[in-house]
Amino acid sequence: MLSRRRTFTLLVVLCLGHVLLISAQVQSGRGRSVLHATAFGAMAGVQGGTAAVAGGVNRLWHGYFWLVGKSRENDALRSRVLALEGELQAERARAARAAALEEALEMQQSIVPPSLAARVIAGTPVPGALNVTINRGTADGVRENFAVINGRGVVGRVIGQPTSNASLVQLLAGKSAAAGAVIEKSGAAGLVAGGFADGDLRLDLVSSVADIAPGDRIVTSGQDGIYPAGFLIGHVAAVKGTGKGREITVTPSVDFSHIDIVLVILARPPQGMDAGK
């Protein structure tokens, strides 16, 4: 049995050798042996596969660096966009300050008493007080109880003793602040007071028969010895109740959360009720 297997194996080897010998001798169409052509084709296939793999790796590698480059470009663009947004915000802030100054200057021209433009330089840490500091003081002629306004209306009054270059201003919406007022439509007089949590003002001491409706303009009466007559305080927001028990809410014309440029009125009305004290 073993002898037969050896004989068969030997026969296969001899046949394979014979085939290879014939292939080496037989010429292909291009003058090469069949064996050489077959081996060349096999190697070409291997080389083609290797080249394809190498090309794919090369493309992947270049693609990676391309993506890295684009990522860096995107980061640079984002940084530039942020810088431009910052510049835009700064320009808007400058434009807002310029508009406030222009508004103040226009109002300054329409005011009969002398006035002085000032800039708000600080707020106050005291809760509910709603005071701000301006960059004008006694060296500029500013005194206690001088009225402070802006292009929208009444801001407040100077309180305490100003220094040579700074003054403290009590905002009209603050606690214990008040101003003599009149309903422009009817002429009915009253007193506008601040210090309420909702930020609105209240109109008190008004005749129970006075005609009052939402939207009515409330202006200074000039009877408190602080604010000259005719400056806008706000508009009636709501009227609740009737008679002497009416609660009249006034929305201030000034946005007390953002005050930049103001005007100090360098004179007080001749009449002196000093209701704001």
What pLDDT score does 185 carry? 92
Provide long-range contacts, Cβ within 8 A and 24+ apart, for 107-115: 107/149, 107/150, 107/151, 107/263, 108/263, 111/228, 111/263, 111/265, 112/228, 113/228, 113/265, 113/266, 113/267, 114/265, 114/266, 114/267, 115/263, 115/264, 115/265, 115/266
Three-state DSSP class for 180? strand
Instruction: Tell me how crowded residue 210 is: count the other CB atoms within 10 A of its CB.
Output: 16
Asked if 270 and 227 touch (Cβ cutoff 8 Å), the reply is no
| Cα–Cα dist 138/108, whole Å | 20
Domain 115-265 of CATH type 2.30.30.830 = no
| Cα–Cα dist 201/180, whole Å | 13
Where do the domains of the chain lie? Answer: 47-110, 115-265
Three-state DSSP class for 227? coil
What pLDDT score does 254 carry? 93
Number of H helices, E strands in the chain: 2, 12
What pLDDT score does 164 carry? 96
| Cα–Cα dist 108/118, whole Å | 12
pTM of the model: 0.60
What pLDDT score does 154 carry? 95
Per-residue pLDDT of the chain (277 residues; tens, 9 = 90+): 555 666 656 655 555 555 454 544 444 455 555 445 555 455 555 555 555 555 555 666 666 566 666 677 776 776 667 666 655 655 665 666 666 666 666 665 555 578 899 999 988 656 566 899 999 999 999 999 999 999 899 999 999 999 999 999 999 999 889 999 999 999 999 999 999 989 899 999 999 889 999 999 999 999 999 999 999 999 999 999 887 788 999 999 999 988 889 999 998 887 544 444 3
DSSP string of 110-149? H-SS-EEEEEEEE---STTT-EEEES--GGGT--TT-EEE
